[in-house]
Amino acid sequence: MSPPAASFENPIAVGIGHAVTGKKDLAVKPAVNSQAKTLAEMEDNWESFSFAPIRESQVSRAMTRRYFADLDNYAESDIVIVGAGSCGLSTAYILGKKRPDLKIAIIEAGVAPGGGAWLGGQLFSAMVMRKPADAFLNDLGVPFEDEGDFVVVKHAALFTSTLLSRVLSLPNIKLFNATTVEDLITRPAPTSADPHAVRIAGVVTNWTLVSMHHDDQSCMDPNTINAPLVISTTGHDGPFGAFSVKRLVSMQQIEKLGGMRGLDMRTAEDAIVKRTREVVKGLVVGGMELSEVDGANRMGPTFGAMALSGVKAAEEALKIIDE
């Protein structure tokens, strides 16, 4: 008989015997705090060092209970953000701060969120943002060097890790990483112009490794999250880039993609921020995914438009949610 289930209240399961071996497990003594209370107390004291006792099942339960409680809680979300790159995270940061009453799920295909914002460009580390995006950095508390018309964050990872930590510390936001949105939930929303029009009503998800292998496996059915509003910021790059807008074309909700144009920093960033919007009912698109919709130019290694597209996407979302 396996040991009684541990619980959040009583984090200790006492081993009472192993069904398989029949041996009496050593009772896991009630956890005691390890001797040291501060790092200083540990120094030069390693021979007497020990961690508090643990049982492997406690670790499993500590992880799985929380994960599945989150899945249950966010199965009905107020907003789903697809893609945790610089635009998606900026959107989440603004929304999560402004509206602690909203339940926001972020779905990120990569194990590591952040998208293309861990490096400034190519393999260089400094991140450039053109003014007035420095206002976002000030709000976030990220230091930068002022170069007149633009500012430079000494390492892109400083921006992305700060933004990520702010977002993940918000109680109304849950990040599901290593998870892909592989389809959109739709509801009929016919209009006089299009009797087949739909509105987006949530997302269809799967483990990313599963989403990448539908061609060589079958019947790996997905999971779902219902939400009245989806904000798609899936970028233009990578295995799933521009996912949602490509799906809108295949569902015949938009006729065709404009296709991202060549690099022109001077026009690209203004266009992306200004055009961040609800592309079809229930779906706001921001960041570089938008360049694929409208045929906007790309801007290359300057990130102000990603941050401010996130600010605009949050604003558009609140207009829709509060309609």
Does the protein bind ligand 48N through residue 79 (CB under 6 A)? no
Total residues contacting ligand 48N by CB under 6 A comes to 33
* Shortest Å distance, C-beta 168 to ligand 48N: 15
Q: Check binding of 184 to ligand 48N (CB under 6 A).
A: no
8 A C-beta contact, residue 173 and residue 106: yes
Using alpha carbons, select from 233, 112, 118, 219 the residue that is nearest to residue 181: 233
CA distances from 265 to 126, 153, 154, 268 (A): 17, 18, 21, 5
Question: Interface with ligand 48N includes 206 (CB under 6 A)?
Answer: no
The residue (of 228 and 241) whose beta carbon lies closer to ligand 48N is 241
For residue 153, give both structure tokens.
């964050």
DSSP class of 212: T
- Residue 58 is a binding residue for ligand 48N (CB under 6 A): no
Residues from 99 through 158 that contact ligand 48N (CB under 6 A): 107-110, 115-117
Q: Does 249 show up as a binding residue in the annotation?
A: no
CA distances (Å), 58 to each of 12, 32, 49, 105, in order? Answer: 8, 15, 22, 27
DSSP E strands in 154-300: the ranges are 173-177, 179-188, 198-207, 223-226, 229-232, 261-263, 277-280, 283-285, 297-298
Name the 3-class secondary structure at 228: coil
76 is in an annotated binding site: no
3-state secondary structure of 91: helix
- Under the criterion CB under 6 A, does residue 294 sit at the interface with ligand 48N? no
Per CB under 6 A, 200 contacts ligand 48N: no
Residue 299 binds to ligand 48N (criterion: CB under 6 A):
yes
Among 12, 80, 84, 201, binds ligand 48N (CB under 6 A): 84
Per CB under 6 A, the segment of 5-13, 79-87, 96-104, 133-141 that binds ligand 48N is 79-87
Applying CB under 6 A, the residues found at the interface with ligand 48N are 82-88, 107-110, 115-117, 180-181, 233-235, 237-238, 240-241, 243, 263, 287-289, 298-300, 303, 306
